[in-house]
Chains A and B, each alone.
Chain A
Amino acid sequence: MSDTPPPIKQRPETAAASAPASGWAIELEQINKRFGAVQANKDIDLKVGRGTIHGIVGENGAGKSTLMSILYGFYTADSGTIRVNGTRQAITDSRHALALGIGMVHQHFMLVDNFSVLENVVLGAEDSGFIRTSLDRARSELDRLEREYELEVDPDALIEEISVGQQQRVEILKALYRGAEILILDEPTGVLTPKEADDLFRVLRTLREQGKTVIMITHKLREIMAITDAVSVMRQGEMVATLKTAETNAGEIAELMVGRHVLLDVSKGPATPGEKRLEVKDLVVKDDMGITRVKSISFSVRAGEIVGIAGVSGNGQSELLEAVTGMRDQHGGQVILNGQALSLKGDDGAARARMAGLAHVPEDRQRMGLVTDFSEWENAILGYSTRPEYGAGPILDIAAAKAKAAEQIERFDVRPADINLKTALFSGGNQQKIVLAREMDRDPEVLVVGQPTRGVDIGAIEFIHNQIIKMRDAGKAILLVSVELDEIRSLADRILVMFDGQIVGEADPATATEGQLGLMMAGVVEERSTT
């Protein structure tokens, strides 16, 4: 085996490519992975220096987890090479990865709740069929690891009795016990309190001092800046840059993550805001895990204006949208529609919100906005099926529903114009038009739109943007949430930036620069001059 490295294509933005003194722990070259028609990873190059903490950032769906799963042997790459400590490897499964010294701490812990810490550590790594000897050996080994890395956990405590932060330590201990030299952490702070996160960082620094390599997947820039030595940014399946953390800043990373898309210019006149249509007061929302995602947010949207909420995804926008539209319980605060406080508690809150004149184009049309197995006309009445226009009594007036669907399809130029076609068979852009047509058709006072052009082709994007502006000019109040910064900048009349469940700033799209917004999205708040 010759040790001559193959020529490496250097991307201009890749600054951290010079080999560190200790060599590379991981070298990935030209990794490709495709799921059906989705290219999850595209020509990915990544080098991680031994004994460093390397951050991988990117939005949801950027391909971070796929890449790490390839490294850990969950998936096999379609093409590309992996080198671990300089030697080329074909990692076939996670057992193989472990043997190479690669350990992974998953976002959702893989622990047996009613086992003790010790039993969990040993599980799957027993010495023999008899558990006693393994446990004894593990106890002394665990003791050593805990002292060496300052990872105090009571080995006899049950998992269900210890805190989430401690459970994570058990996961790290599990990996170390199996001899991991390279540790992959997937969104490690997602479930931690700030205090627990700080403890984790202390542990990670100790690991680094002891010569371990840490790869951390996250979309939180604060963590990247706080702890990593180098950071790689991924976007839509591609590696867009690898930077030395010391030589960059949160704003730059945020811009790289969100990307600067070439967007068609949207022509719109000045807004003429009227009275308040949608008012959100001190809204608190928790996610399904019980973690507070929206932390006392207040804002309002007036008739005839588009308020855009910008931010890196995962900062509470989804939960905010769902709470405002009645899909998710509020845990505090108020949502006021047309001056009327809406009680959105209960699992039919969305129906009450609609009755009050709110229409909702959801972030994820396939998961929420459509029943993809239904025909087009059946989706054209989703959320409105109980209206008298579709039959006065309990019987559904299918003829009326079909007529209305045909009308909508024509007005929004949905292709193919076939109301009996299964919705799953329409393209992404046309599916989105189906949702928009349905929601805009009732002339709502308030329109809440999440990621209106995600996965939509250029032609449809322009159409959708124009429709949204038309609604604004008709005097409707529009709340727009998008992770596409350019979309927010070109559509919104006011921009609110959300970070970590809070609105950290307001900006005027006409004057705010991308850099300023990027900083706010990264949670770096300067002296702001909001009115």
Chain B
Amino acid sequence: MSALKPLPRWADVALLPLLNLSLAILVSGLVVLMIGQNPFMAIWAVITGAFGSGYNIGYTLYYATNFVFTGLAVALAAHGGLFNIGGNGQAYVAGLGVILVALALQDTHWLIVAPAALVAAAVFGGAWAFIPGYLQAKRGSHVVITTIMFNFIASALMIYMLNRVLKPAGVSGPESAMIAESGRMPKLGSFFAPFNYTPVNISIFIAMLALVGAYILIWHTKFGYALRVMGQNPTAARYAGISNSRMIIITMTLSGALAGLVAFNEVLGVQNRLVLDFVADAGFVGIAVALMGRNHPFGIGLAALLFGALYQGGNELQYVISGLDRTVVVIIQALVILFTGAMEGLFRPGLQRSFMLFSPEQKAEAVAVSTVKTEN
């Protein structure tokens, strides 16, 4: 009954995700084959659709931006032992903050609008996650339950706001007024021609900063230390005098703020108005991104890029191969999420066993480790 030795770090962060991804692609290929199409053509279509030109890359990066924010939101909470499933709702409500600030300041300059909207996105998203955090810290209501419920509440709230409050007179659809030209954030295409006509915008730099910031926060600050202690061993946190309740509230708020930045990208960067369901389930994709990225900002960056590519490449697929419509693309995306996210542990035991088998010295070490562990 000797315990399996953990994988070497490189295998954990690179080999395992690659294996999972390969399996997902393999099964997706079988699906494509069953429909009667050539799977290699399909894969090629996805790859070129995602990275074939500046235009394609622009779209891929735009999707990836959202997934970085939601992936980080899930990862940050996960380091504290919390599972924030409410990224969707938090991002959605954050849209309210962005549009209110943007419409109020739209006649000034986008350089004024953007920072204010960024703060508003974080504050609104954070506030929406603060409530579940508070309820867990003070009342013991599990955040998994409350954040899910808050997704629905957010959805209802936003439908109300769009229909009754934000919809300007004379507009039929449930959407807000457009932000005036002067308040619109420029897209990258205006500085870099290959990205012309793509939605990728300044938010991508915010996403990169968020990745670096999250890394520093989690591994180089006292807060991050306390966060990880709580996530690994809440009893030890109590022993250390770390207030678990306060940490839960702060962590959930920060997590919600990160998810809220999706609204900055979508509302201020792309749509220039608030529309129904602009989040498009980026919050849920964030869970898969965090899982695949091992809750590490570097991994999350890569995973977000992968999912961005899948979204964009998948969209292109239907135009390239006529037999593959949008629903097949959704199936492929779901398979990738299934194998890299939900079933990421599938290969782990086998991989650990083979690593131990092919390295006798590690095998001896593994036995020694399990002996030491149970010495008491």
A contacts, CB < 8 Å to B: 35-38, 325-327, 346-354, 360, 362, 366-374, 378, 381-383, 385-386, 390-391, 394-396, 398, 424-428, 454-455
Contact = CB atoms under 8 A, between A and B. Distances in A.
A83 B241 CA distance: 52
A36 B3 CA distance: 9
A36 B375 CA distance: 9
Contact of B376 (A326, A362, A366, A398): A366
Given A424-B373, A425-B369, A425-B372, A396 B241 contact: no
A368 B222 contact: no
Interface of B: 1-3, 216, 220-226, 228-229, 232-233, 235-236, 238-246, 369-376
CB-CB nearest 8 A-B residue pairs: A351-B241, A455-B376, A350-B241, A348-B243, A383-B240, A37-B374, A36-B374, A368-B239
Given A346-B243, A350-B241, A36 B370 contact: yes
A425 B374 CA distance: 10
Contacts of B232: 371, 373-374
Contact of B241 (A362, A374, A383): A383
Contacts, number: 108
A352 B220 CA distance: 24
Given A347-B238, A369-B236, A428 B225 contact: no
28 contacts: A35-B1, A36-B3, A37-B370, A37-B375, A347-B243, A347-B245, A348-B241, A348-B243, A348-B246, A351-B241, A353-B241, A354-B241, A360-B239, A366-B376, A367-B233, A367-B236, A370-B233, A371-B228, A374-B229, A382-B229, A382-B239, A394-B221, A396-B222, A396-B225, A424-B373, A426-B372, A428-B372, A454-B376
A375 B205 CA distance: 33
Contact of B375 (A354, A391, A428): A428
B72 to A, nearest CB: 19
Given A371-B232, A394-B221, A385 B372 contact: no
A382 B240 contact: yes
Given A369-B236, A374-B232, A395-B216, 20 more contacts: A36-B2, A36-B3, A37-B371, A37-B375, A38-B376, A327-B239, A346-B243, A348-B243, A348-B246, A353-B241, A367-B233, A368-B236, A368-B239, A371-B233, A373-B232, A378-B225, A381-B225, A394-B222, A395-B220, A424-B373
A237 B245 CA distance: 39
B5 to A, nearest CB: 11
Nearest to B224: A396
Contact of B222 (A351, A353, A386): A386
A326 B238 CA distance: 9
Nearest to A424: B373
A385 B233 contact: no
Contacts of B233: 367, 370-373
B239 A350 contact: yes
A396 B223 CA distance: 8
Nearest to B373: A424
A352 B241 contact: yes
A296 B228 CA distance: 37
Given A386-B222, A396-B225, A326 B241 contact: yes
A428 B372 CA distance: 7
A351 B242 contact: yes
A396 B221 contact: yes
B216 to A, nearest CB: 8
Nearest to A351: B241
